[in-house]
Amino acid sequence: MIRAFLSGMKVHVVMFSRNPFDLSGVVLWPVLYASIAYYLLDSKDNPRLLLAASLGAAVMLMWSLVVIGSSNALENQRWLGTLELLVAAPVPFATVIAPITVASGFVGAYALLATLAWGTLLFHVPLVIEQPLAFAAAIPACILAIGMLGLVMASTFVLYRAAFSLGISLQYPVWIASGLLVPLSVLPSFVGKVGWFLGPYWGFRGIREAALGGTPWPDIGVSVGISLAYLVVGSVCLRAFVHVARRTGSLKLT
């Protein structure tokens, strides 16, 4: 299973790297998101706020790349005619799908670092990390959280042809509920409670706390715990949805 997982990740990263359109997006988007963080908040005089905004923008981009990347990858499996072959493989289907979302997470991690780097280069965002060790741990924890949330959502993509459209529509709710777009304190209290159930919310908190100084480890721990829960939920959902697709005969609909 581990071999199938690693092999799947390699395949999907290579597939992604050989699509000029995807590649150009990954190069341009970090510049765009770094600009948004800088100009939207107009927080030149508050370096901590500027860094927090840049981090938020970077994680927003990471989530977008994961949800769009994985939904696009799944829709591509239909167009390529490989979805049926993946379902018919003897390894558990989650082992086939998880690499797609985690590979997107790695591309997202690059985008996160690129957004921060562009912010520093172009807008002089002070990239001073208070707790480098915790920061280094928070990033993979956040990738895992985003990748596993992507896995849960990917299970629905197996059922629907329009996976890409569905993926696009899932961007904003997670941005908002995870406090990436605007602070949760300015939103109705129930939105914050929704965020508690989202791994990316805790992952982002871990990154922010590590960068700005605070107590990141509990957030990182919760993020990893929720990711594991997502893995279980995602695997169960995938099994159930593949069963539904076998019953309705919708695996090959392109």
Interface with other proteins (CB under 8 A):
3-4, 7-8, 10-11, 14-15, 18-19, 79-82, 84-91, 96, 243, 246-249, 251
CB 142 within 8 A of CB 200: yes
Tokens (6 digits) for 16: 């992604």
CB 250 within 8 A of CB 159: yes
Task: Please say which residue, 19 or 169, places its beta carbon nearer to other proteins.
Answer: 19
Q: How far is the CB of 177 from other proteins (least distance, A)?
A: 32
Q: How far is the CB of 2 from other proteins (least distance, A)?
A: 10
Q: How far is the CB of 251 from other proteins (least distance, A)?
A: 6
Task: Please say which residue, 46 or 82, places its beta carbon nearer to other proteins.
Answer: 82
Q: How far is the CB of 252 from other proteins (least distance, A)?
A: 8
Report how far residue 92's alpha carbon sits from residue 225's, in angstroms, rounded to the nearest whole number: 22
Q: How far is the CB of 78 from other proteins (least distance, A)?
A: 10
Task: Please say which residue, 17 or 215, places its beta carbon nearer to other proteins.
Answer: 17
Report how far residue 104's alpha carbon sits from residue 62's, in angstroms, rounded to the nearest whole number: 9
Distances (CA, A) of 146 to 95, 143, 212, 217: 16, 5, 21, 18
CB 251 within 8 A of CB 245: yes
Report how far residue 12's alpha carbon sits from residue 18's, in angstroms, rounded to the nearest whole number: 10
Task: Please say which residue, 77 or 131, places its beta carbon nearer to other proteins.
Answer: 77
Task: Please say which residue, 9 or 61, places its beta carbon nearer to other proteins.
Answer: 9
